[in-house]
Amino acid sequence: MKKNIVLFTFLLLSAIGLEYETQAYTTGSMSGTAYGIVGLSALLALLYIIPALLLIRSLGKKWQTPAFSLGVALLGGLFISGWTSGLANTYIHEWVSTSFPNTVISYLENALAAPLVEEPLKLLAVAFAVYLVPVKKLRAFLLLGITAGMGFQISEDFSYILSDLPEGFSFTISGILGRITGGVASHWLYTALTTIGLALMFRFAKTQKAYFKAGLFYFLSAFVLHFLWNSPLTSIETDIPVIVPAMTAVAVFIFYQAYQTTQKIDQEDLSV
């Protein structure tokens, strides 16, 4: 009975998200030019979305992660985490603008609010997937985090396309191209870290403290990385790009360490 209630809740929230995310395209309020820009931007986005989803499916088979579980995580990230975080960010922006105008908080609003709002809501998509189709291997948890984060990333890509449209063709296209390159270390990675971090903390809270501490590090690092990416640091320009590439390198390195941890533990479990 509980699982049916959770499934219905998931379907309801996803259906709301589907309507919320697509209503701008289905009302006929956009001009023909705008639809053309959206179509081209979508095609550009698909250049990374399709290979990413194919890779996720391939890893799912290799890491024994049920396809249904991956589907729930993807749809949850795309149609639940996306619109709920969008609304939450809007309310927070209005609150900060009213309560803390021209302060450090308003200056760092995006950097502070985005991780605190988006990371828990992306984990909600993972929670639906794990509850409806449980997994045991840590690499499966890691992949569910990647998948939920990718779903959210796709949703955010299209929301940025819409928000950039009033600025014209060049701005919108350059925006999606920037998001494609920035997607190398973006939401898929953050959610993978929070997911595996929580999994390690829950599993080893009373046993191996080293793994518990590793989980805590991975979990917190996702928030820190997300904060830094949304901070004013990324707008600093230098002759040779350094800041953003350095952030990307650090993020990918931490993700690699998390993967190594999951692989080691899964192998230890097999040898027991």
DSSP string, the chain: -HHHHHHHHHHHHHHHHHHHHHHHHHSS-S-HHHHHHHHHHHHHHHHHHHHHHHHHHHHHHHTT--HHHHHHHHHHIIIIIHHHHHHHHHHHHHHHHHHSTTSHHHHTHHHHHHHHHHHHHHHHHHHHHHHHS---SHHHHHHHHHHHHHHHHHHHHHHHHHHHGGG-HHHHHHHHHHHHHHGGGSHHHHHHHHHHHHHHHHHHTTS-HHHHHHHHHHHHHHHHHHHHHHSGGGG---SS--HHHHHHHHHHHHHHHHHHHHHHHHHHHHH-
Q: What is the pLDDT of residue 266?
A: 86
CB atoms within 10 A of CB 9: 12
User: For 107-117, what is each residue's pLDDT tens digit?
Assistant: 899 999 999 99
Is 80 exceeded by the pLDDT of residue 21?
yes
With beta carbons less than 8 A apart as the criterion, state whether 17 and 78 touch.
yes
d(CA 135, CA 141): 7
Q: What is the pLDDT of residue 191?
A: 98
Is 50 exceeded by the pLDDT of residue 84?
yes
User: For 255-266, what is each residue's pLDDT tens digit?
Assistant: 999 999 999 998
Mean pLDDT of 37-63: 95
CB atoms within 10 A of CB 83: 21
Mean pLDDT of 159-186: 92
Return the percentage of the chain with pLDDT > 70, whole number. Answer: 99
Is 80 exceeded by the pLDDT of residue 268?
no
Q: What is the pLDDT of residue 257?
A: 97
Is 70 exceeded by the pLDDT of residue 270?
no
Is 60 exceeded by the pLDDT of residue 8?
yes
Query: Which residues, in sequence order, are CB contacts of 104 under 8 Å at separation 6+?
Result: none
Q: Where is pLDDT greater, at 205 or 7?
A: 7
Mean pLDDT of 226-254: 93
Mean pLDDT of 69-73: 97
Mean pLDDT of 235-259: 94
Q: What is the pLDDT of residue 122?
A: 97
d(CA 183, CA 161): 15
Mean pLDDT of 26-48: 92
Is 60 exceeded by the pLDDT of residue 272?
no
Mean pLDDT of 29-52: 93
In this structure, of 94-103, 121-130, 147-156, 195-204, the range with the lowest mean pLDDT score is: 94-103
